[in-house]
Amino acid sequence: MRRQWITKLGVGLVGAATLAAAGVASAAEIQTGGKLLLTGGFSSLEGGAGGGLSTWSVIAGNETDGGIGGKVHATYVEVPDYTLRSAGAALGLHDWVELSVARQEFDTGAAGAKLGLGKGFTFKQDIVGVKVRLLGDAVYEQDSWIPQVAIGAQFKKNNQGNIVRAVGGKDDSGVDYYAAATKLLLDKSLMLSGAVRLTKANQTGLLGFGGDKSDSYKAQFEGSAGLLLSKRLAVGAEYRSKPSNLGFAREDDWVDLFAAYAINKTVSVTAAYVDLGDIATFKDQRGIYISLQAGF
């Protein structure tokens, strides 16, 4: 029953988002391109537009309100005991609605054997997201202090339900809800973004949802700050707080320091130093994050 409700909710949100986008511009007005470099955000680990670790209110793609855009990404994260791979795509409709999909693979490497799972045991998670811009324009409303604001949901399904429940997780699927606000201050070459996420996810869902310590939604904060050193290069930092629902291992917040470079209007690359804290009893998971994005 619960999964049927989640599925119906997802279909309803996607349908409503598509109808909203269709009302913004007619087919005769559709065009691609138009955004300034880097202002459409990068690709987050969960597929939508944002930073690497956090979600922003901007809509994926280079389109403005008269067009359609999109983006694909491939991301690789390596820390001492684990490897995370993510690939996905996002579609932006008239700069008001975003639909996204992603597949994550969390490879436990040698740590898998120590945890009793087997060397190289891999958790996989599929994510479907929808985001709707409510008001503001992060870039083009420079004479207003009002940021661009969006709300969204991410529907997540983990493929290792038995393992999730064995470590204390309550479910192998769940939904995150969020509200995000983003503002680009062009005269200061500064980008600021923040989001509040309601979630039950353990390690963003890679270890399931809810746990033996708590099975309630908790509000978590995601924040990003970036400095545009040129029209092609941005540097900055991100922070993402996370709940700690599982008794067998404390879950830490995530931070990163990133640099993003737009090779051209279509292709960009992001590199970061990430600190993911302790993961599943293995401490000090710090390492590299590399993401390649291509879009229109």
Ordered by where they begin, the domains of the chain are 2-295 (2.40.160.40)
Instruction: Look at 1-15, 45-59, 86-100 and tell me which has the smallest mean pLDDT.
Output: 1-15
Identify the pLDDT of residue 13. Answer: 45
Identify the pLDDT of residue 6. Answer: 44
Evaluate if residue 7 carries a pLDDT over 60: no
Evaluate if residue 139 carries a pLDDT over 90: no
What is the C-alpha to C-alpha distance for residues 42 and 22, in angstroms, rounded to an integer?
25
Evaluate if residue 18 carries a pLDDT over 50: no
Instruction: State what percent of residues in the chain have pLDDT above 90.
Output: 75
Average pLDDT, the chain: 88
| 98-117 average pLDDT score | 94
| 245-260 average pLDDT score | 95
More confident residue, 29 or 288: 288
In a 13 Å sphere around the CA of 12, the CA atoms on its Cβ side amount to: 6
C-alpha pair distances (Å), 170 with each of 102, 105, 164, 179 = 23, 20, 7, 25
pLDDT band at residue 37 under the 50/70/90 scheme: confident
The answer for residues whose C-beta is within 8 angstroms of residue 85's C-beta and 6 or more apart is 74, 75, 76, 77, 104, 105, 107
Identify the pLDDT of residue 292. Answer: 96
Identify the pLDDT of residue 22. Answer: 40
pLDDT band at residue 12 under the 50/70/90 scheme: very low
Identify the pLDDT of residue 33. Answer: 60
Evaluate if residue 14 carries a pLDDT over 50: no
Identify the pLDDT of residue 163. Answer: 92
More confident residue, 11 or 174: 174
Identify the pLDDT of residue 157. Answer: 97
Instruction: Look at 37-41, 97-101, 142-146, 161-165 and tell me which has the smallest mean pLDDT.
Output: 37-41
pLDDT band at residue 15 under the 50/70/90 scheme: very low
Which one, of 202, 206, 226, lies nearest residue 214 by Cα? 202
Task: For residue 165, give the 3-state DSSP assignment.
Answer: helix
**Range with the largest mean pLDDT of 19-28, 59-68, 274-283:** 274-283
Identify the pLDDT of residue 245. Answer: 96
What is the C-alpha to C-alpha distance for residues 189 and 126, in angstroms, rounded to an integer?
35
Q: pLDDT tens-digit profile of 20-34?
A: 444 433 333 445 566
